[in-house]
Structure 1
Amino acid sequence: MTAMGSECLIGWSRLRCSNISLPQYTLLLQQVSAHNALQENRSQVSAMPVEIERKFLLANDSWRSVVVKSSRLRDGLLAFYDGRKIRIRFYDDKATLTVKGPRKGLARHEFEYAIPASDGLVLLEQHCKGEVVEKTRHHVLVGDQQWMIDEYHGLLDGVILAEVELAREDTHVHLPDWIAKEVTGVEKYRKINLVKARKKKMAHAARQAKRRSKDLAHKPMA
């Protein structure tokens, strides 16, 4: 048995209580592997790379029982202008530089290139505007479609969003029972706006706490 075959059997054995079959599990591992290879160096792809995705809120946590792969991601924004952005990202210990164009409908151009981890770390820590966003990306297979559930940590702790990448905008998407409202294109759920909203909430809480502390300091003793 190959190392890949052993990994499939070991991983699937942990999910035997779920509805995912061994063939489905093996297929998803192959899809994830191919996706990661593409993300590592899209410059080798001759066709114009286009990202087509839909985004959803989660209805419950039942998706956790069918997760087959998870990666730790760290994102930093290097530049943003008129819907275009340049991002540095770490997939576990691998760094990538991504350029995204403005969205048209569900689609946008996306160019992602692998860069040395040492370069990525300098860019992430010294040249990113705003906060570095951390999350765990969980991969789930629904039929023949791969879903990615992003569970945020740190500044955006508690935010969980699901995405499904599509080959075409009109591709039919089977929605599992753990999916709730679709938020594709909703400004509130763009990462940059989630960060702004959380910072605003934290600043407001800090002002309220300072005001309460000041009021207590001036309150006469009984």
Structure 2
Amino acid sequence: MIEIERKFLVAASDYRAEARLQIRILQGFLSTDPDRTIRVRCIGSQGFLTIKGRTYDAGTSRQEWEYEIPLDQAEELLLLCENHPVEKMRYQVQAGPHVFEVDEFRGLNDGLILAEVELTTATETFIKPSWLGIEVTGDIRYYNSQLSLNPFTLWKE
């Protein structure tokens, strides 16, 4: 399966008023190798194991396989993960036919807010909401796997 998405910084909090869903996510990485990222995620009462391949098409595309696993197994696997867990609140916001997932990061990534939109092709057009900021698609610093290695609050810019 191929995942195609674009990622943006968020410039304003207007998205909250438009959100149709809000959920807490806790995730960790069994592997942060860019060729084979392996993520464990707890979302509400569900657990997931996700394997992703290396990105291509300027960071918009990569292979992805995701499997639901029992929550207790996901929680146990989180204890085996590398580095820092990634905590976030996710808001889903409809914009035309697309759904943006807006992540407000917590913990060591507190202060970072990113929005992603999944597409069917790398060149597909979509409505850009007013709260969308600069595009960071392909900037590896904003990959969740990299945020577990080098959290946002530790960046020196």
Which residue does the alignment assign to 1:73? 25
Alpha-carbon distance change, 68 to 199 in structure 1, aligned in 2, over 3 angstroms: closer
Greater relative CO, 1 or 2 (CA 8 Å, sep 6+):
2
Which residue does the alignment assign to 2:63? 109
**Aligned pair count?**
154
Kept in 1: contact 2:22–2:91 (CA 8 A): yes
Cα deviation for residue 192 of structure 1 reads 3.6
Aligned-pair identity in percent equals 36
Amino acid at match of 2:52: K
Amino acid at match of 2:77: L
Amino acid at match of 1:53: E
In our comparison, the structure showing a higher alpha carbon Rg is 1
Q: Are 2:41 and 1:89 equivalent residues in the alignment? A: yes
Find the aligned partners of 1:201 and 1:169 in 2 and give their Cα distance. 32
The two structures, once aligned, show a CA RMSD in angstroms of 1.9
Correspondence 1:163-174 to 2 at 5 A:
163-174=116-127
Which residue does the alignment assign to 1:135? 88
SS in 1 for 2:151: helix
Structure 1: segments with no counterpart, 5+ residues: 1-48, 205-222
Report Cα offsets for 1:123-169 as digits up to 9, x if no partner: 012x1011111101100000111100001111111110000001111
Find the aligned partners of 1:200 and 1:59 in 2 and give their Cα distance. 18
Cα deviation for residue 50 of structure 1 reads 1.3
Higher share in strand: 2
Structure 1 stretches of 4+ with a deviation exceeding 4 A read none
Report Cα offsets for 1:8-52 as digits up to 9, x if no partner: xxxxxxxxxxxxxxxxxxxxxxxxxxxxxxxxxxxxxxxxx2110
SS in 2 for 1:81: coil
Which of 137, 141, 156 is 1:184 aligned to? 137
Amino acid at match of 1:159: L
Report Cα offsets for 1:176-199 as digits up to 9, x if no partner: 111111110012322343344438
Amino acid at match of 1:116: P
Find the aligned partners of 1:136 and 1:200 in 2 and give their Cα distance. 17
Which residue does the alignment assign to 2:52? 100
